[in-house]
Chain A
């Protein structure tokens, strides 16, 4: 089974802190994604990457950046955390062909205080 591992299940950070969310997948998937999930809003795409060192903005990239230095790892960075970034963050990966769907990690629930 493909495994997508997110480094933390729960995280509490202070406003203004720089926050790193790590995601690692073990099945050599080309594509990796970061979503945030909020009640009533579904999953919203923050950033995605189709290859190492490649990144593209999703629908809500403001306040975030990403890094993909190795194929298996995709990091989400909150440059200066704010309370409106309190959310569930989900990482996902997929093969180049979409027919196998996305495999999601268990999520990181981030609270910014």
Chain B
């Protein structure tokens, strides 16, 4: 069945450093969504990408959808302690979630 793999599983950064998480699917995706889950919280929807090669920005966050619509990335510029949490990608009509990347930020 369809699988969505996400790397890395953990990332520890110093505040101010950049952070990137990558998402890869075994099949072409109709769309990709990104969610953030704060420690002790529930996933919160960030954004959806639909078009091949699409790039969207939300302040310091940049989301990309690959040309083949099989991969995606989330890049955070100059991380802050408020960015701490687990970032999930999810794709396809039935929304298959990746395993998530847990980001910790050292002040």
Query: Chain A: residues with CB nearer than 8 A to chain B?
Result: 33, 35, 40-45, 48, 58-59, 90, 98-107
Contacts and interface: CB of A to CB of B under 8 A. Distances in A.
15 contacts: A35-B97, A43-B90, A45-B97, A48-B94, A59-B96, A98-B31, A98-B95, A99-B31, A99-B50, A101-B45, A102-B35, A102-B45, A104-B44, A105-B42, A107-B42
Interface residues of B, number: 25
Interface string B1-45: 100001001000000000000000000000101010000011111
B88 to A, nearest CB: 6
Contacts of B41: 106
A112 to B, nearest CB: 21
B48 A98 contact: yes
B97 A58 contact: no
